[in-house]
A and B are shown apart, each in its own frame.
Chain A
Amino acid sequence: MERIPILRMGEFLLVTIQVDMHDQLALKLQDDLSNAIQRHAAKGVLIDISTLEMVDSFIGRMVADISGMGRILGAETVLVGMQPAVAITLVELGLSLPGVSTALNVERGMALLRRKILGVGDVTATAG
């Protein structure tokens, strides 16, 4: 069955969404990620959507759910790489993704995750 790969990097999990996901695939990813967080006792999850050309309310909700679910399982989630056109559209659609940490790219997302987990530096909800 079609699924989105989840890579493990130490205490972090990295997910790169590169396909135009149909709804079941998004739900499957949510399921797979919660299992992976538990199995690897992951402390952080990085979701890279830099190749996604659209985020609608369904995908937005999935991201928010993953973030909330991860927090309960002891993992911080950072969403990285959102294209400007996608960000503009999301806000106009009415989704501001409250509670979801974001960063410009994978590198900054990693730095934000480390800060959040190690509890050092400025731990704000959003890093540029």
Chain B
Amino acid sequence: MSQPRQGEAPLRSEHDIVLARQLVRKLTQELTFSLVDQTKMVTAASELARNALIYGRGGTMHWELVQRDAYRGLKLLFADQGPGIPDIGKAMTDGWTSGNGLGMGLSGAKRLVNEFNLDSQVGAGTRVTIVRWK
């Protein structure tokens, strides 16, 4: 296997969100995800990439093709060095937003994936890791 198993994409502009979506689409296709599973992962990535850009003032998306027993999956880490999230419980609530969004980004993204981990420190930044298994 000469294909890279992991990589990184910048999230510095709105165009980067589009590129991140396209990259996730390509990776989920390589993993032969079903169309619905591809769409869920791409949509979750779009929400989290936008969060990193708008609330985190830009960041990166790390990706990794992962394997556990017989299952293959895609792991994505969205990292920013923004202001962090003071109240994670509130941020994960449907309909709550500190910006002008719908407040569905974090909670919605969590429902679209198999594993979701949010780590945020005020003043240091936010890291969201998601995994979807085939």
Q: Which residues of A contact B (CB under 8 A)?
A: 20-24, 53-58, 60-61, 83-86, 88-89, 92-95
Q: Which residues of A contact B101 (CB under 8 A)?
A: 57-58, 61
**B20: shortest Cβ distance to chain A, in Å?**
11
**Bound: A88/B38 CA distance, A:** 12
Kindly identify which residue among A20, A57, A84 contacts B105, using a CB–CB cutoff of 8 Å. Answer: A57
Q: Is the CB of A94 within 8 A of B42?
A: no
Given A54-B42, A56-B46, A58-B101, the answer on whether A94 and B108 have CB atoms closer than 8 Å is yes
Are B104 and A92 touching (Cβ within 8 A)?
A: no
Interface-facing stretch out of B1-9, B11-19, B77-85: B11-19
- Given A22-B14, A61-B102, A85-B35, verify A92-B111 contact (CB < 8 Å): yes
B112 at the interface (CB under 8 A from A): yes
Contact B108 A57 (CB under 8 A): yes
The verdict on B107 contacting chain A, using a C-beta distance below 8 Å, is yes
- Interface SS of chain A: helix
Contact with A along B24-38 (1 / 0, CB 8 A): 010000000001101
| Shortest Cβ gap from A79 to chain B (Å) | 17
CB-nearest residue of chain A to B42: A54
What are 29 sample pairs from A and B whose C-beta atoms fall under 8 A apart? A20-B18, A20-B22, A22-B18, A23-B14, A53-B39, A54-B43, A54-B46, A56-B43, A56-B46, A56-B50, A57-B47, A57-B104, A57-B108, A58-B101, A60-B102, A61-B101, A83-B39, A84-B36, A85-B35, A86-B39, A88-B39, A89-B43, A92-B111, A93-B104, A93-B108, A93-B112, A94-B94, A94-B108, A95-B108
Q: Is B62 an interface residue (CB 8 A)?
A: no
Residues of A within 8 A of B36 (CB): 84-85, 88-89
Residues of B within 8 A of A86 (CB): 39
- B40 sits at the interface (CB 8 A): yes
A54 to chain B: which residues have CB within 8 Å?
21, 39, 42-43, 46
Contacts of B47 in A (CB 8 A): 56-57, 93
